[in-house]
């Protein structure tokens, strides 16, 4: 039997790609397409948004009642909405996959709380390539140590509302965890004016916003006489959508808990 997937933020850039990903997967079916009450497509067939054929599911706004007919929910919306959806999923006992970035401590607490009751996957990036890049970044930081300066450069489309990207921050956290640093203290966001010489403990972030760039990240390890760059470039949102769907199909088989994409891909290493 196919797994019934609900999608919140269905009219958004990721929502439309998620519906296409569900449509192309033999083990999944679209159980609900959800949006804000004021969305002009409410009542229209989801296929109109996805740019595919008719899907037989109308866009609607009632997450609570939709959850009764779902096996899993995928949420790429906005932080406040995501926290609310986590609470509703926990009450309904429906596994949740969260892709929303820009979450603050209160939002993350809401996810943690829901994960006591349901399987909940949260990743700042659902592509297999970025998940692997995080491993490579940890290996590079471990091998190069404090002698190499770490700078993280990311680029996204003009509509993105948070900066640096959740993926860039996750990359910074991986470097900080590996080198025993604290991102809250050691991160430097953009530079301007009389900055003084570079403090070797800092992890620098540079943000580029423009056009239709889907998502690009480079972590640069700059030493004396050489530098190493680990770069990931996403050219289609379908890579995130397929990864999030894979996470949802995995989550429905798991006990309650907070998971990430490494868990989904079976990449977690002990110690």
Tokens of 172: 């910074």
Residue 119 host element (H or E): strand 119-122
Identity of the residue, 13 or 113, whose beta carbon is nearer to ligand NAD in the bound complex: 13
Cα–Cα separations (whole angstroms), residue 115 to 83, 89, 254, 258, 270? 12, 10, 11, 5, 21
Q: How far is the CB of 147 from ligand NAD (least distance, A)?
A: 32
Tokens of 39: 């969305």
Among 19, 33, 76, 246, binds ligand NAD (CB under 6 A): 76
Examine residue 119 and tell whether it contacts ligand NAD (CB under 6 A): no
Phi and psi for 3 in degrees, rounded to 5? -85, 125
Examine residue 13 and tell whether it contacts ligand NAD (CB under 6 A): yes
Examine residue 74 and tell whether it contacts ligand NAD (CB under 6 A): no
Q: With the C-alpha atoms ordered 95, 55, 234, 209, is the resulting torsion angle positive or negative? A: negative
Alpha carbons 95 and 117: distance in angstroms, whole number: 9
Contact region for ligand NAD (CB under 6 A) — 4-12, 136-144, 171-179, 217-225?
4-12
Examine residue 36 and tell whether it contacts ligand NAD (CB under 6 A): yes
Q: How far is the CB of 178 from ligand NAD (least distance, A)?
A: 22
Q: Is 113 a catalytic residue?
A: no
Q: SS3 of 243, please? A: helix
- What are the DSSP calls for 40-75, one per residue? TTTTSBHHHHHTSS--S-BEE--HHHHGGG-SEEEE
Tokens of 56: 């037989």
Residue at shortest CB range from ligand NAD: 12
Identity of the residue, 211 or 225, whose beta carbon is nearer to ligand NAD in the bound complex: 211
79-108 residues in contact with ligand NAD (CB under 6 A) are 81, 99-102
Q: Is 160 a catalytic residue?
A: yes
**Which residue out of 85, 107, 113, 156 is catalytically annotated?**
156
Examine residue 123 and tell whether it contacts ligand NAD (CB under 6 A): yes
Alpha carbons 186 and 204: distance in angstroms, whole number: 8
DSSP 100: -
Examine residue 3 and tell whether it contacts ligand NAD (CB under 6 A): no
**Which residue out of 107, 113, 157, 160 is catalytically annotated?**
160
Q: Within 10 Å of residue 69's Cβ, how many Cβ atoms?
A: 11
Examine residue 73 and tell whether it contacts ligand NAD (CB under 6 A): no
Q: How far is the CB of 112 from ligand NAD (least distance, A)?
A: 18
Among 3, 35, 107, 245, binds ligand NAD (CB under 6 A): 35
Angle at which helices 128-144 and 238-251 pack, to 10 degrees? 90
Binding residues for ligand NAD, rule: CB under 6 A, are 8-9, 11-15, 35-36, 39, 76-78, 81, 99-102, 123-126, 240
Active site residues: 156, 160
């Amino acid at each position: 039997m196919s797994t019934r997937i609900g999608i919140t933020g269905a009219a958004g850039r990721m929502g439309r790609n998620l519906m296409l990903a569900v449509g192309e997967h033999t083990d999944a079916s679209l159980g609900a397409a959800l949006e804000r009450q004021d969305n002009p497509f409410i009542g229209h067939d989801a296929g109109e948004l996805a740019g595919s054929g008719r899907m037989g599911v109308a866009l609607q706004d009632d997450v609570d009642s939709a959850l009764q007919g779902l096996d899993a929910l995928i949420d790429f919306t906005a932080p406040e909405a995501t926290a609310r959806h986590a609470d509703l999923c926990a009450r309904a006992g429906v596994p949740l996959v969260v892709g929303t970035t820009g979450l603050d401590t209160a939002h993350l607490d809401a996810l943690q709380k829901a994960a006591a009751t349901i399987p909940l996957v949260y990743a700042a990036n659902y592509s297999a390539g970025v998940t692997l890049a995080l491993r490579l970044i940890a290996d590079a930081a471990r091998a190069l140590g404090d002698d190499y300066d770490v700078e993280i450069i990311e680029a996204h489309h003009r509509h993105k509302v948070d900066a640096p990207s959740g993926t860039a921050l996750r990359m910074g956290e991986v470097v900080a965890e590996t080198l025993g640093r604290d991102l809250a203290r050691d991160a430097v966001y953009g530079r301007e004016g009389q900055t003084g010489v570079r403090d070797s403990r800092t992890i620098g972030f540079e943000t580029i916003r423009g056009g239709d760039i889907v998502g690009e990240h480079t972590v640069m390890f700059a030493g004396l006489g050489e530098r190493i760059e680990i770069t990931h470039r996403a050219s289609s949102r379908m890579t995130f959508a397929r990864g999030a769907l894979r996470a949802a199909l995995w989550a429905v088989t798991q006990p309650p808990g907070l998971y990430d994409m490494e868990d989904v891909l079976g990449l977690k290493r002990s110690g």
